[in-house]
Structure 1
Amino acid sequence: MNFPALFTPGRIGPLEIPNRVVKSPQSTATSNPDGTVSRRTVEHYRRLGEGGIGLVMMEYSYVDDDASKAIHNQLGNSSREHVAGLGWAADEVRSTGAKVGLQIAHGGRQKFLGTAPIKSATESSWADVEGQYGVVPTPMTIDEIDGVVRSFGEAAARAWSARFDLVEVHAGHGYLITNFLSPHTNWREDEYGGSFENRARLLLRIVDEIRASVPADFPLSIRLSVTDYEADGIPIDETVELCRQLEAHGVDVLHCSGGHHAGMEWEVSPWYQVRAPHRWGWEEVKKAVSIPVIASGSLVTPEIADDIVASGSADFVSLGRAMLADPDWARKAREGRVLEIVPCIRCNDGCLHRGLNRGRSVGCSVNPQVAEEGRFPVPPTARPKRVAVVGGGPAGLKSAAVLHDRGHAVTLFEPAELGGLLVHASGSTVKQDLAGLVRHLSNEIARRDIEVIGERADANALVKRGFDTVVIATGAPIRRPDFPIDPMAVVVHSADVRADRPYTGTAVVIGGGLQGCEAALRLSEMAGLEVILLESELQLLTGDEVFTDVERLPVFLEGAGVDVRTDVRVVGVDRAGVHIVRGSERDVLPADAVVLALGRAHPDSGLTDDLRAAGVDVHVVGSAVKPGRVFDAIHSAFFTARTV
């Protein structure tokens, strides 16, 4: 399967694009503190171009030095001093055969830095920003609005001077222009507030200013949210009318996404959100305009992306996190090597939670080399060894593949199905991204000359086989309950909850961390099953969980009909059900199945100690070091294996 719809040329205004695949603009925080392009920035975008993408859209760049900069180490386009570096980046990307665009933006109320001044349509504040330093947005004056309009025009002219192939205005996702477009954040009473015509005035003025500032054949894209998904926000009929007017004002392409940062489950859709959530919206836009439409938002797989173009749903597809996971996504899809694509698991862990949110550059759970392109090669070893990898979970599978690529003879020991604790994802709609990762990692073993032995390895057997090195990837044991369990009760671990082993009646999940929440969500997909989730704390997800899970997963559990009960202590499980205590009250919850989701205990070092005592070179990766998430498994495996 080579996805012909994706890999036919397309056109945006006078610009011909080699194929229909667009790299969605995403902040990398790799620029210098003054916004100038760094070598890391250039190498990141050149690497994306080398992956076969038709159009690489570089991240949002701030347009003035007043209040438009939103995030640390953001790309700048506020003065002539930025043009030389932008031109360097544009030339490097274009040298790969890809076209390259630049997004220009004003942060508005979503100034993640949290520092004054924050300028917006009104004083409507986003709690996450205000919570940093207590700074609330200042409503923009007419003079300031006029200045921002000029700044966008000047920034577009600088993009043209730097020889980008097109420029894009960010008018979505809760940034300044959306602050004006949405009634949710705009309650002005002047000519920029109230009616749709007034709220659209700023964007239309910016478009006119850009058209007057650049040559007529320089394509202009508008990135917008089909809606912000707020009850009092942007309705789709206004978006459709806005797009008609944008076309009339000379816009060449509409880049359609959705949501804003206060509703991250729509803007950066996590694993439990449906794929392509904004399809309904961009299809309404496409029916109303004659210019091309770019579809964006959790498209992740070539099958989804190709269907969107082939069906006429949109003219181009835009992928962001999927290209961080694998910059060769487009090339592999074109060559039919789908299982070789490293899939985005939409965890928001590496890119946001441990990346931008912590003041770092962008990262990726499944791609340790993102934003560090070329710095961590996997060189051939000068001393090939016989290496055993013990454990076939994500850390073991990744280790085995990297060790093989270095030139070692690798044997993998796994007594069960490859994938470790992740095999539960198979068949579950909410875990389809993780199931894709298991298929990919397993395929990476299958397509290499790696011997897989379906047995549990002990120290004596490994020593007798004469391995030079052993990599321990056995994970961490399941935490034992501190309450009695009748052996006659139907009790399973959360990792054993699978779509192909359905339950009926009532299932009680004990533990409201990520393990319990996602198990409850998987159980809710089973027909005719009532799901009760118990947590001893006052709220769910109290550990070091990814912020999108903490903020929105409880809402999805409620929507799925899961009965969530917090501040509940379990004191026993027997054939009558789950015995609980809440305050001074005791109760028994009848259960046809009880699911334990108590987390994992500290890993056992016995195998490691025995091997080292026998003089074997041993390396420990993944949760065998410390219980963690996919990020920890893949990163520790990669960085360990490349040095063995």
Structure 2
Amino acid sequence: MQRKYPNLCKPIQIGNVDFRNRMFSAPMGGTDITADCTIGRASTAFYELRAKGGAAAVTVSECMVHPDTDGSHAYHLDLQTVGSLASFTYTADAIRRHGAIASVELSHSGQYAGTYLTDKDKKRSLAQWGPSAGVRPDGLEVKELTQEIIDEIAAAYGNCAGLAKRAGFEMVMIHGGHGWLINQFLSPYFNRRTDKYGGSLENRVRFAREVLDRVRKTVGAGFPIEFRMSGSELFDGGYDLAEGIQIAKLLESRVDLLHVSAGTYQRGFSITHPSMFLSHGCNVYLAAAIKKQVSVPVATLGGLNDPAAMEEIIAGGKADIVEMARALLADHELPRKVMSNRGADIVKCLRCFTCMAERVATSTRRCTVNPLIGRELDGTEVVPAAQPHKVLVAGGGPGGLKAAITAARRGHQVILCEKTNELGGILKGEQAIFFKYEMYELGVTLGKLAQDAGVEIRLQTTVTKEYAEKEKVDALIIAVGSEPLIPPIPGLKGDNVVVVNNYYMEKDKVSDQVVVLGGGLAGCEAAIHLAREGKTVHLVEMRNELAPDANIRHRPILLKEIEKNKIHAHTGYKALRVTEEGAVCADDSGREQVVPGTSVICALGQRARREVVEELLDCAPYVAQIGDCVRASTITTAIYQGYHAALDI
């Protein structure tokens, strides 16, 4: 067959190992870590899903090589921990049996030991060691590594690599970026030593070389070693791209693949993991610059999810391999879809950080658009129903569409009714905000998948009690969503007011002086968009903080964008009335304040359409309520509930 993306689909040999395509699954922390720091069954299933989806390599993250000096928050691989070698063996086998190459990321956190522990108090009892003594920003003391301990840690990398090979892994990744220990040695910001490991770049690279030499001695020639590095640390005091190129040149003889990332977790999370406010592939230039200077293959990554863009990266000689993490959570079948020319079927990552926020909050994983993530042991295949039924889905938003797709794949006869002339529900409103456009695309993609699955879609059709009973369905899934909350504030229905959900249809009405009423997630993101358009924006929030409904990863990035775009935020302000000049508000002391703006965006939240739900509750033998019509919530909730409602039929 003629491949639409021939460069992405082309095999590549690294060391003595053949990889089936150029799409690798980048390191992602698993979903369970046992009390003994081994890989749990849920994590094995988590990694296996990426292999089943067609990735050429799947990297397990992270294996901490020297627990004595790294108060570990992740896996251990040694012969002393009961079950350690076995857990890695089962995981390597689960990855390899689907044609992917199993790799493991070998790490040491250095002075950032315990960073991802859910119990933040516990990390105070852990060991924090680094290249130089000092005090972390959070007040924890960092001890300087001695020569004896440096030698132990380098040897530990080699020992772990040998055990990984014994367990069936066919590649290892040495983590030398993102602020972890090897990066701390490379960085002039962290490394203030005056011995053979500090000062000149040659000295700062010494520890990385010693680690790689130990690993090579253990795994032998031809066994692929991937070295993950930050092409630039991207902050004052860290090394820049010019020095990153020199680091790559000094290390290339010891590695088979240079994996070029960016920044550090501690001083640039939203750069290392590009947020929705940054362009896709914003870090590719680092890999492209390094590739020109080295002879070994180079991998790039960073917010990549579009096959056409990834094809161009490889075709244009910017990198030899693209690596994805979040994109393969959103759609684990992305590589298989690329290989079979089904790029239009890819469910794209929204870069919403739900996956990483859940990791911090509960030490698990969840994905907004993929209900399987973190729950792989519950089953990853949609099994045909024993007896097909007639199913009616009321509502064409993300939850209703996911329910319809899943029910159709089970063999049911599915009718989906949407009262407007377009699918997507609340996602339709995102098409006018460029950094949220992929949320709009999600509705388009789910609509296509529903049609391809055989769902009968009836637009401009409202499901009433009479309609549902006339159809005589066996199952009814109610996904009628929510509607904007518009309080009885005088003037809020005036001509100068646009409800945020309708902005995409009325954006030309919005002037250059805007008041956004509502400082929740929707209001904040609308304010950022308007400010980026050059408008003067005032953001009004009744509570004392902005975006409390944003997740723990997205919120800090959102607040920085508000500050960067010079948005005037007014917290503790309650809107009293809207006039042609703006919004009259009461501040937290009760005094009236005029917030100026000739246009007003109403973003005061959503309310569930409960009256519609209550009318339909008795219209079929099986009735399920999903998403916002139960309680105004998130895309994550709607997708997850829609998927399982269809499985329950």
Common topology (TM > 0.5): yes
Determine the structure 1 residue equivalent to 2:396. 392
Correspondence for 1:316 among 317, 321, 337: 321
Distance, in Å, in 2 between the alignment partners of 1:265 and 1:19 is 28
Question: 1:455 corresponds to which letter in structure 2?
Answer: T
CA-to-partner distance for each residue in 1:253-280, whole Å, 9 max, x for gaps? 1101112222221122222222112112
Question: 1:436 corresponds to which letter in structure 2?
Answer: E
Counterpart mapping for 1:525-564 below 5 A: 525-526=532-533, 529-543=535-549, 545-564=550-569
Determine the structure 1 residue equivalent to 2:527. 520
Give unmatched runs, 5+ long, in structure 1: none
Distance, in Å, in 2 between the alignment partners of 1:366 and 1:33 is 30
Distance, in Å, in 1 between the alignment partners of 2:620 and 2:306 is 46
Question: 1:498 corresponds to which letter in structure 2?
Answer: Y
Q: Does 1:404 align with 2:414?
A: no
Distance, in Å, in 1 between the alignment partners of 2:193 and 2:92 is 39
CA-to-partner distance for each residue in 1:308-348, whole Å, 9 max, x for gaps? 11111101000111112222110101111122222211111
Matched positions, count: 631
Distance 1:615 1:440, change over 3 A: closer
Secondary structure in 2 aligned to 1:551?
A: helix
Determine the structure 2 residue equivalent to 1:251. 255
CA-to-partner distance for each residue in 1:384-436, whole Å, 9 max, x for gaps? 32222111111111111112122222221212221111112225321133233
Is the CA contact (8 Å cut-off) linking 1:422 and 1:438 kept in structure 2?
Answer: yes
Distance 1:488 1:214, change over 3 A: closer
Give unmatched runs, 5+ long, in structure 2: 118-122
Instruction: Give the deviation of 1:628 after TM superposition.
Output: 1.2
Determine the structure 1 residue equivalent to 2:367. 364
Instruction: Give the deviation of 1:188 after TM superposition.
Output: 3.8
Instruction: Give the deviation of 1:136 after TM superposition.
Output: 3.9
Is the CA contact (8 Å cut-off) linking 2:418 and 2:461 kept in structure 1?
Answer: yes
Instruction: Give the deviation of 1:530 after TM superposition.
Output: 2.8
Secondary structure in 2 aligned to 1:272?
A: coil
Distance, in Å, in 2 between the alignment partners of 1:631 and 1:404 is 21
Is the CA contact (8 Å cut-off) linking 2:353 and 2:554 kept in structure 1?
Answer: no
Determine the structure 2 residue equivalent to 1:118. 128
Distance, in Å, in 2 between the alignment partners of 1:499 and 1:7 is 40
CA-to-partner distance for each residue in 1:247-305, whole Å, 9 max, x for gaps? 14x21211011122222211222222221121121122112211111001111121221
Is the CA contact (8 Å cut-off) linking 1:64 and 1:77 kept in structure 2?
Answer: no
Q: Does 1:75 align with 2:78?
A: no
Determine the structure 2 residue equivalent to 1:100. 102
Distance, in Å, in 2 between the alignment partners of 1:568 and 1:419 is 33
CA-to-partner distance for each residue in 1:146-200, whole Å, 9 max, x for gaps? 2111111211222232342221100112222222222333334444344433332
Determine the structure 2 residue equivalent to 1:296. 301
Instruction: Give the deviation of 1:635 after TM superposition.
Output: 0.9
CA-to-partner distance for each residue in 1:517-536, whole Å, 9 max, x for gaps? 1111232344x533332223
Distance 1:331 1:189, change over 3 A: same
Distance 1:3 1:412, change over 3 A: same
Question: 2:365 corresponds to which letter in structure 1?
Answer: V
Determine the structure 2 residue equivalent to 1:46. 48
Distance, in Å, in 2 between the alignment partners of 1:12 and 1:68 is 31
Counterpart mapping for 1:374-453 below 5 A: 375-376=378-379, 377-416=381-420, 417-453=422-458
Q: Percent identity?
A: 29
Is the CA contact (8 Å cut-off) linking 1:270 and 1:548 kept in structure 2?
Answer: no
Q: Does 1:622 align with 2:627?
A: yes
CA-to-partner distance for each residue in 1:532-591, whole Å, 9 max, x for gaps? 322233432223x21222211121233334333434332211223222344576443443
Distance, in Å, in 1 between the alignment partners of 2:499 and 2:403 is 26
Distance 1:68 1:433, change over 3 A: farther
Q: Does 1:576 align with 2:612?
A: no
Q: Does 1:481 align with 2:487?
A: yes
CA-to-partner distance for each residue in 1:193-245, whole Å, 9 max, x for gaps? 44433332221221222233331222211101122332222211221111010
Question: 2:387 corresponds to which letter in structure 1?
Answer: R
Question: 2:539 corresponds to which letter in structure 1?
Answer: L
Determine the structure 2 residue equivalent to 1:264. 269
Secondary structure in 2 aligned to 1:5?
A: helix
Distance 1:268 1:492, change over 3 A: same
Instruction: Give the deviation of 1:448 after TM superposition.
Output: 2.5
Is the CA contact (8 Å cut-off) linking 1:68 and 1:105 kept in structure 2?
Answer: no
Is the CA contact (8 Å cut-off) linking 1:78 and 1:151 kept in structure 2?
Answer: no
Q: Does 1:333 align with 2:335?
A: no
Distance, in Å, in 2 between the alignment partners of 1:468 and 1:486 is 43
Moved more, 479-488 or 95-104: 479-488
Determine the structure 1 residue equivalent to 2:62. 60
Q: Does 1:186 align with 2:188?
A: no
Is the CA contact (8 Å cut-off) linking 1:20 and 1:54 kept in structure 2?
Answer: yes
Moved more, 631-640 or 421-430: 421-430
Distance, in Å, in 1 between the alignment partners of 2:307 and 2:506 is 26
Question: 1:437 corresponds to which letter in structure 2?
Answer: L
Instruction: Give the deviation of 1:500 after TM superposition.
Output: 8.3
Is the CA contact (8 Å cut-off) linking 2:523 and 2:603 kept in structure 1?
Answer: yes
Distance, in Å, in 2 between the alignment partners of 1:477 and 1:94 is 48
Question: 2:531 corresponds to which letter in structure 1?
Answer: S
Distance, in Å, in 2 between the alignment partners of 1:7 and 1:124 is 48
Q: Does 1:456 align with 2:462?
A: yes
Correspondence for 2:496 among 490, 507, 510: 490
| Runs of 4+ that moved beyond 6 A | none
Question: 1:558 corresponds to which letter in structure 2?
Answer: E
Determine the structure 1 residue equivalent to 2:120. none
Distance 1:229 1:486, change over 3 A: same
Is the CA contact (8 Å cut-off) linking 1:109 and 1:125 kept in structure 2?
Answer: no
Secondary structure in 1 aligned to 2:228?
A: strand
CA-to-partner distance for each residue in 1:99-155, whole Å, 9 max, x for gaps? 22221111223322324122223455665xx5xxx7543332232222111111211
Is the CA contact (8 Å cut-off) linking 1:426 and 1:435 kept in structure 2?
Answer: yes
Question: 2:487 corresponds to which letter in structure 1?
Answer: P
Distance, in Å, in 1 between the alignment partners of 2:16 and 2:569 is 55
Question: 1:186 corresponds to which letter in structure 2?
Answer: N
Distance, in Å, in 2 between the alignment partners of 1:43 and 1:281 is 33
Counterpart mapping for 1:350-361 below 5 A: 351-354=355-358, 356-361=359-364
Instruction: Give the superposed CA RMSD.
Output: 2.4
Question: 1:283 corresponds to which letter in structure 2?
Answer: A
CA-to-partner distance for each residue in 1:23-45, whole Å, 9 max, x for gaps? 10111133433233444333333
Distance 1:12 1:499, change over 3 A: farther
Determine the structure 2 residue equivalent to 1:27. 29
Normalised TM-score (structure 2): 0.91
Secondary structure in 2 aligned to 1:609?
A: helix
Moved more, 233-242 or 90-99: 90-99
Question: 1:293 corresponds to which letter in structure 2?
Answer: V
Distance, in Å, in 2 between the alignment partners of 1:486 and 1:560 is 26
Instruction: Give the deviation of 1:499 after TM superposition.
Output: 8.4
Determine the structure 2 residue equivalent to 1:4. 6
Distance, in Å, in 2 between the alignment partners of 1:119 and 1:520 is 43
